[in-house]
Amino acid sequence: MESPHAKKSGGLKLPAGMSGTSLRLDTAPASSSFRSSISTLNSPSSLRSISNLTSPSKSNSACSDRFIPCRSSSRLHTFGLVDRPSPVKEGSNEAYSRLLKSELFGSDFASPSLSSLSSPAGAAAPPSPLSPSKNMLRFKTDHSAAPSSPYSPSILGQQNGFTSDSSTPPPKPPRKVPKTPHKVLDAPSLQDDFYLNLVDWSTQNVLAVGLGTCVYLWSASNSKVTKLCDLGPYDGVCSVQWTREGSFISIGTNLGQVQVWDGTQCKKVRTMGGHQTRTGVLAWNSRILASGSRDRNILQHDMRVPGDFVSKLVGHKSEVCGLKWSCDDRELASGGNDNQLLVWNQHSQQPVLRLTEHTAAVKAIAWSPHQSSLLVSGGGTADRCIRFWNTTNGHQLNCVDTGSQVCNLAWSKNVNELVSTHGYSQNQIMVWKYPSLTKVATLTGHSMRVLYLAMSPDGQTIVTGAGDETLRFWNVFPSMKAPAPVKDTGLWSLGRTQIR
């Protein structure tokens, strides 16, 4: 009888402790053999024999020729089998990648960790310097003294001057002018006559206004109103003008007289004649008073001489309605209803310039305090233009059509700007920048022609008068020391008061 180990090719190797009879098939009927096999497999000895097929016994060194591992319990990472990026791909561009990511996301940013990408959802990834910060898509401010990279935006924008802010300064904002008057005075009987000049402001801050037959003084410092004089029922006030010192005031009357009054003591100093009819315009220089009349003549009065006048200037063919001395007292400009602008000097009885470009009466005249020999004039309803002249050669420098009758002109002594007041048809007040002639502001408020204009001693405020019997105070110019936007000082109340 052969042993179990004799047949190696056809026999079955059985583990130790298991006999061949346990696996022998009986020739019994199918039902009985099936039940026998099931009962045999369910026996404890058979279960121990099957378990020995999959796991070798620890006490015996003999084992089967196949190993079938359980992959669910395997740990491949212990064998180094996890996919990792190739060092060849990142090694050559590692420095460039780090620099690029540092510039885009900050110095604390580098390539994201692969383990964080492969970690299951909900698991917290361990903090690593190679992972982006939580503020990656937000703006970041570098508070360090110097940028950490030569390509930092702060260097490109600030130090090397590549931005437009460093090469081109920002434009200055336009100066704001208050659109409403800060003070309104009632002026009953203020005449609506283009050829009269009834308002003037002294250097001592006192406003003189001609109302009917009377002249009133209004102190801007305390709002006190004083009645200076009353010309009586047969005369009327046609013009007022303070001396440059502000102590004396001259009054032109409807009868052609020129009266000089002491403004502080309200006392008449002198009366001078010479005109045949109303004296509608007056102009002082340092020592000479010029008066213009409807009789077409200009008289020059010297307070040091006992006579009525020292010279007569004849040149206009109609009423003289505009007179202004130059800042150096060397030239006198006159405008008339004959549409002419004449310039006179102290050495001749004839005009040295006769400018005839205006097509309407020339009442508005002003000399520039900023440029010698620069004269500006404005025409009436049919002309509507402001013209600039060089009185050295008589050339017209510029002209602007305002669209309305030009009633008054005045230069600012603080800035190179001027103000104009207008009548038909818009009744506006306009502030101009010179020499660009751009409009700084357009002010409205009067319901009738703005026929009268005067400027405060500090050069910041103007007062305008109209046939609507109101005087309105406007802050239009900056101060000389601080050219900042003009603000309402609140010196006067916004309420309306009566000047008499």
Phi, psi angles (nearest 5°) of residue 289: -110, 120
Count Cα atoms within 13 angstroms, Cβ side, for 375. Answer: 30
In the predicted model, is pLDDT for residue 163 greater than 50? no
pLDDT, average across residues 399-412: 97
- What is the DSSP-derived secondary structure letter of residue 41? H
Looking at the domain assignment, is residue 205 inside a domain?
A: yes
**Nearest-angstrom CA–CA distance, 362 and 380:** 6
Looking at the domain assignment, is residue 388 inside a domain?
A: yes
Mode of pairing for the β-strands spanning 320-325 and 331-336 = antiparallel
pLDDT tens per residue across span 181-231: 999 999 999 999 999 999 999 999 999 999 999 999 999 999 999 999 999
pLDDT, average across residues 21-31: 49
- E strand map for 254-361: 258-262, 267-272, 279-284, 288-293, 297-302, 311-314, 320-325, 331-336, 341-345, 353-355
**In sequence order, which residues have a C-beta less than 8 Å from that of residue 173 and are 6 or more positions away?**
none
Supply the range of the domain harboring residue 240. 186-475
pLDDT tens per residue across span 261-279: 999 999 999 999 999 999 9
In the predicted model, is pLDDT for residue 174 greater than 80? no
pLDDT at 454: 98
Looking at the domain assignment, is residue 492 inside a domain?
A: no
What are the angstrom distances between the C-alpha of 337 and each of 185, 257, 294, 322, 375?
A: 30, 21, 9, 9, 18
Q: At what angle do helices 44-54 and 30-42 cross, to 10 degrees?
A: 70
Residue 168 pLDDT level (bands cut at 50, 70, 90): low
Q: Which tokens is 435 given?
A: 């020499």
Mode of pairing for the β-strands spanning 496-498 and 183-186 = parallel
Q: Which tokens is 320 given?
A: 């003289």
Q: Is the distance from CB of 375 to CB of 391 less than 8 angstroms? A: yes
Q: What is the mean pLDDT of the chain?
A: 79
| DSSP three-state, residue 123 | coil
Looking at the domain assignment, is residue 177 inside a domain?
A: no
Select the more confidently predicted residue: 80 or 402. 402
Looking at the domain assignment, is residue 289 inside a domain?
A: yes
pLDDT at 334: 98
Q: How many domains does the chain have?
A: 1
pLDDT, average across residues 61-76: 58
Distance of CA 169 to the CA centre of its chain: 14
pLDDT, average across residues 389-413: 97
Distance of CA 102 to the CA centre of its chain: 39
Predicted TM-score (pTM) of the model is 0.65
pLDDT at 170: 72
Residue count of the chain: 500
Looking at the domain assignment, is residue 206 inside a domain?
A: yes
Looking at the domain assignment, is residue 91 inside a domain?
A: no
pLDDT at 214: 97
Looking at the domain assignment, is residue 480 inside a domain?
A: no
Most confident of 85-89, 161-165, 168-172, 324-328: 324-328
**Nearest-angstrom CA–CA distance, 50 and 44:** 10
Contacts 24+ apart (CB under 8 A), 366-369: 366/324, 366/409, 366/410, 366/411, 366/418, 367/324, 367/325, 367/326, 367/327, 367/331, 367/333, 367/411, 368/327, 368/411, 368/434, 369/327, 369/411, 369/413
CATH for 298? 2.130.10.10
